[in-house]
Every structure is written in structure tokens, then in C-alpha cells.
Structure 1
Amino acid sequence: MTRASAAQIADALRDRASVVIISHVRPDPDTIGSALGLGLGLRSLGVAVRCGFSGPETLPGVLHELPGADLIAPLTPPSPGEVAVAVDAATVSRLGAYEDVFTAADTRVCIDHHVSNAGFGDLDFIDPESDCTAVLVLQVLDELGVDLTADIATCLYAGLVTDTGSFKWARPASFHVAARLLESGVDAAQWSRALLDSHPYSWLQMVSTVLGTSVLDEQACDGRGLVYATVTADEMAGLAWDDSESVIDVVRTAREAEVAAVFKEATPGEWTVSLRSKTSVDLVPVARALGGGGHTRAAGYSDSGTAADVIARLRAQL
């Protein structure tokens, strides 16, 4: 493992015949936007590019509309000399079944912004001070001398606008990046609406049920408060898996709670858990203790069992 700069990553990718770019399982806009933005940039330089992600879930519909989505396909083992790049994955296990594709490559590159990422590539470009991985990809593309087209900028904007919560918690540098992306031709109104403010009507009904059974414990977290909700597999019936991802953004608004959690049942007995804090609780140790990771104020992990058991394990860590 070598901590690398954007320039060193560019050197590793420059003049390669082919590059495979791997997003994490249950892909979000940052991992897909980063992969497609990097992929389009490399393709413009004549590099053969393959992008993919592992898992039973399909790509969320809106992400199918991103430029370069045609690059995404099932991945085969790397060819000799091919570079594998993991984008926005805090651990190599987040690549799912494609962990083997990554580890079999002659050169392995990790580009990520999670503070919990200890590095797992030959070259690791990891910057927890970046609001999203897409911003790091832009730095690599700049070092490669890639022209920032509207298509590339749109892919990177998808990661930036979602990982900053529509810029609600963006660092100053992200506003400079956003201005540059918009100047390159991104339709910010269209993509912000599509990525953040668009759900099927059945989502409203699901959220109504979930919020109606949410729990507030103002004494949890040493009196700082915990609010949590569960989304069962039955409640998700008829909805795409990604429709549960935004529930945390509603639950976290409870002003009486420093920490918010949403327990999402992917299949009966199998849960993914989203955690958010506001100002004083570092979620990374909590998520790590439960097998996950993430950021100081946003983290997650997976667990198995009944809802009561999964909730109890989180509460024991808080």
C-alpha cells in the first residue's frame, strides 16, 4: 500500500491499454458518477474502459441516465497489464464479488474519501477532507489533461450534489468545484431534482408508515438523543431498493436527537443500517465495531437477525 497523490494515480493510468473501474455494492451516485466520470475521461484518451458493480441490486433508474452508463457491464477477470480502480469503497469487501477482479489485477488503485479507509490498493488516493470521491476523480482527470466535457462534469456533479446533501454540509472547496462543473455544462436544476427530489408515490406511503413507527429516545447517547426507524422487507415491497436510502434524511431532522439511524431490511433477516450525527458523536468507531465504516457524521454497516436484535446491538455501542 502506498498513499498516493492525484498525479501519481494519473501516472499509473496514463498510456494503459485498458482499465477496469469497480464501484461498491448497492451503488450510490458518488460511486457510479466517479466511475463513469473517470471512465469517460480515460476513454477520451484512447484507453479501453470497463465499469461494473457487484450484487443482486440493479442500478437505480436515474443513474441509468448518466452519460457513459453504457460502460457498465458484468466484469470478467482483468487481462494482463490491466489496472483495476476501486472508487468510493471504504474497504475491499465493499466491492462484493468483484473483490477478486480487483485483487487479481497487476496494478490496484483505490480512490476514496472515507475516513475509515485504511487503504487496500497498491496506490491509495484517499482524502477524508474531500466531500466526495467525485472531487478526487476530477483531480486525477486534471492531472491527465482530460478536457472537462459536459458529460464528464454531469457524472461528477451527481456524486458532489448527493454526498453534500445538495450542498447543505459542503466544504468551501466544493462550491468552487460545483461552479466549475456547472460552467462545463451541467444542468444542475435537472440533475438535483432527479437525484434528490424524485420518488414514486408509493414511496410517500412507505415513509408515512415508517415515520409512524419511529422511536425517539432523548436519554440515549449520554442524553444527546437517538431517533431511529425500521424499514422492513414487506414495507419495501414494490419499491426499488434505493428508495429506502433517503429515509435517513427525513429521520435525521428530529431536533431532539443527535444521532439518527435507519434499519433497512434488504431481505428477511438481513439489514443495512444508515447512521447520521449532527455535531458531537463520531460514528466511525460505532460503525467499525459493528463491521462497517464511513465518515464522522455519516456511516453504515450490515447486520443479521430480528429487528429487535439489530437495534439492540446498535444501542449497546452508543
Structure 2
Amino acid sequence: MATIPDSIVQAIRETSNIVLATHINPDGDALGSLLGLASVLEAMGKEVVRYLEEPVSHLYDFLPETQKVVNDLGSVQRFIEESGDDILAISLDCGDMQRLGQSGPWLMKTRPFVVIDHHKGNNGFGDLTWIEPHRSSTGEMIYDLACVLGQPLSRNAAVCLYTAILTDTGSFHYESTSAHTFEVASRLLECGVQPDKVAQSLYDNYTVGRLRLMQLVLATLETFYQDRIALLRVTRSMLGRTGTGLEDTENFINLARSIATVEVAVFFKETDNNMISVSLRAKGHCDVARVAARFGGGGHRNAAGFRQSGLDMDRLRDRLLPLLMQELES
């Protein structure tokens, strides 16, 4: 069982109104953790606001209670103001304030501000923090929190947390998957999760546009250093041609990672603000989080990322590759 700070458990028990938030472009762990915790808190009688800066991606609209997600910051502000001192904000699966997006500075005015996360590079930016980098996912941590709070999980909450764990472990592929991870997954199945249904919703839901986008992305494949590093790219032009969004690129990096000789996979994504978002995935001993940190990013040893502006993809590639090779040889 996790060692959850008493201050966080006490704050949750003593507060009636809670705002939950997570990082921009939320993945399965971020969204599943947020929705799962919201269900737990509401079962305890709390008033909960599920805040996201953007609408829920169609990839995750199968998750229970996504319709309760709020995108309007103004309504969140009114909720906080009406709550007076009886308010708590919780950030989930978010490594730093910047990842909360444009609303981050405003959200952090809420006190106390709690951070629950499993990213190695988390700088502990909240008032109360619970950060465990060895964990498979934030969803696994939320399950333990529910146990400490003495709150049984509904089927809806269990589906959300199972989705969080499944996606952030790469379907139990990654080294952060522990015996406890499988134990939690087993308990979630006992709560009514049907693993085949979740897997079908996650992995058998491609649109024609997404497949065409995959075709374009695969055509950008480059390999380096005796095929030990593989790089893929997606541009705004590709998204426009296929009628897709950046959310449709989720898991594309694993296509590069799946090459037998590849030890590090890199995925460059051109965002709508002239920024390049870079995802890194590694096998074995390579610590891509250390490389990401050189560019102001972070993450885990085998899964990390960063964002960069002011460079085109070729120039950024030429800066990144020597650092990756150095890390591979260290």
C-alpha cells in the first residue's frame, strides 16, 4: 500500500468542494484518473468540478461521465468563489504548472493546491504533493487513495482507473508495471470492468482518417545509428489533409518503438502555435527523461517528452540525435 501524505487525505476529507484538473492534451491516464477520482469524491458527498482546458478527445468518449467535464474556466471560477474557504484543487498526472495550460496560473491561486503524479521530473509545484515516480500510472495511485479513504469503487470509477493503467503501461508492457499494478487491475475487474470492452474501445476505434494519417506518418520514418533510433513526424498539413487532430496520433510512437533494433523512438508533432512537441520512448537502459530535461521537459526513464519553439524539425532532430546517442552509450 502506498504511503499517501496524511495532509492530502485530511484535506480531501475536510473539504466539500473540489476542482480536479490535469494536463493539456490529456492521455488515458490523465483523463481516467480525473474521472475516476471525481466518481470517488462524489460518492463521498463532495461537489466536484472536472475541468479540462479542451473538450474530451473522441478517443476517450467511451469513458463514463465524460459529459460532466467542464471546459469553461469562468464556471470553474464561479464555483471556487461560491465555495469560499471550503475549496480544494487537485492536479492529476501533471509534471509542472506549465502543463496545466493557459489556465494553470489561475487554477493555482486556489489554496490548498494538491499535486498527485508519477512523473520523475515533477518539481513539486503544489502546496501538498504526492509524487511516486516508480508507479505505473496516476490511475494506480488513485486506486490506492480510494482505499485509504475507505471508499468502494463504482463500476464507472473502475473503468476509468483501469483505462488509466492500461494506457500508461502500454497494455502492461512497460517496466513500471509491477505486481501491485496487476493486483490493482484484478481488483478493478472485480468491480465490474470488462477488459475486452475497454480494449476494444481503446484500440479498435480508428477512423478512416486516422489510418490515412498513420500512412503519412509512417512515410516519414527515419532511422539512425545502426537503426537504434527511429524518428517519425506529423505536421499540421498532414492533419489537414486527413481531417484529423493531434489526438489521432496517440500511440503512433509505438510503431517506431516496435522495430526490433530500435532502442529509442522519437515522435515530432507540429502544434498549432508553431511549437514542436517531442515524445521519446526507450527500451532497456536508456534514460530518455535525462535527455528531455536538457530541453526543459521530463518524464520517466523510458517515456518522456518536451516542447520546443524556434527550431524547425530538421534542426531540432540534429540537436537531439547526438544527445540520444550519448545516453545510449553511457
Shorter-chain TM-score bucket reads over 0.9
Which moves more between the two structures, 77-86 or 291-300?
77-86
Matched residue, 2:312: 306
CA contact (8 A) 1:9 1:109 kept: yes
Match of 2:125 among 116, 120, 127: 120
**Residue 178 to residue 11, structure 1, CA distance change in 2 (3 Å):** same
Instruction: Count how many residue pairs are aligned between Structure 1 and Structure 2.
Output: 309
1:176-201: CA deviation from partner (whole Å, max 9, x where unpaired): 11110011001211111212332112
State how far apart, in whole Å, the 1-side matches of 2:7 and 2:40 are. 16
State how far apart, in whole Å, the 1-side matches of 2:5 and 2:155 are. 22
State how far apart, in whole Å, the 1-side matches of 2:301 and 2:315 are. 24
Which moves more between the two structures, 100-109 or 120-129?
100-109
Q: Equivalent pairs: percent with the same residue?
A: 33
Match of 1:231 among 230, 234, 247: 234
Match of 2:203 among 196, 218, 240: 196
Q: Which runs of 5+ in 2 are unaligned?
A: 325-330
CA contact (8 A) 1:15 1:47 kept: no
Displacement of 1:86? 0.2
1:162-217: CA deviation from partner (whole Å, max 9, x where unpaired): 00111122222111111100110012111112123321122222222222221111
Matched residue, 1:184: 191
Displacement of 1:7? 4.3
CA contact (8 A) 1:22 1:52 kept: yes
Matched residue, 2:327: none
Displacement of 1:109? 0.4
User: In the alignment, is residue 69 of structure 1 matched against residue 66 of structure 2?
Assistant: yes
3-state SS in 1 of match to 2:114: strand
Displacement of 1:65? 2.7
Match of 2:247 among 242, 246, 254: 242
Displacement of 1:143? 1.5
- Structure-1-length-normalised TM-score: 0.92
Match of 1:163 among 165, 168, 186: 168
State how far apart, in whole Å, the 1-side matches of 2:288 and 2:308 are. 16
Displacement of 1:275? 0.3
**Residue 148 to residue 7, structure 1, CA distance change in 2 (3 Å):** farther
Which moves more between the two structures, 196-205 or 252-261?
196-205
Matched residue, 2:294: 289
Residue type at the aligned position of 2:215? S
State how far apart, in whole Å, the 2-side matches of 1:268 and 1:235 are. 16
State how far apart, in whole Å, the 1-side matches of 2:322 and 2:276 are. 17
User: In the alignment, is residue 212 of structure 1 matched against residue 213 of structure 2?
Assistant: no
CA RMSD of aligned residues (A): 1.7
Which moves more between the two structures, 7-16 or 26-35?
7-16
- Structure-2-length-normalised TM-score: 0.89
Displacement of 1:123? 1.1
Which moves more between the two structures, 38-47 or 263-272?
263-272
Match of 1:259 among 250, 260, 264: 264
**Residue 189 to residue 294, structure 1, CA distance change in 2 (3 Å):** same
1:200-252: CA deviation from partner (whole Å, max 9, x where unpaired): 12222222222222111125xxxx82110111111122113211121101111
Residue type at the aligned position of 2:237? D
State how far apart, in whole Å, the 2-side matches of 1:68 and 1:125 are. 26
**Residue 158 to residue 227, structure 1, CA distance change in 2 (3 Å):** same
3-state SS in 2 of match to 1:202: helix
CA contact (8 A) 2:59 2:205 kept: no
Residue type at the aligned position of 1:267? D
State how far apart, in whole Å, the 2-side matches of 1:211 and 1:178 are. 33
Displacement of 1:303? 1.5
Displacement of 1:6? 5.1
CA contact (8 A) 2:116 2:129 kept: yes
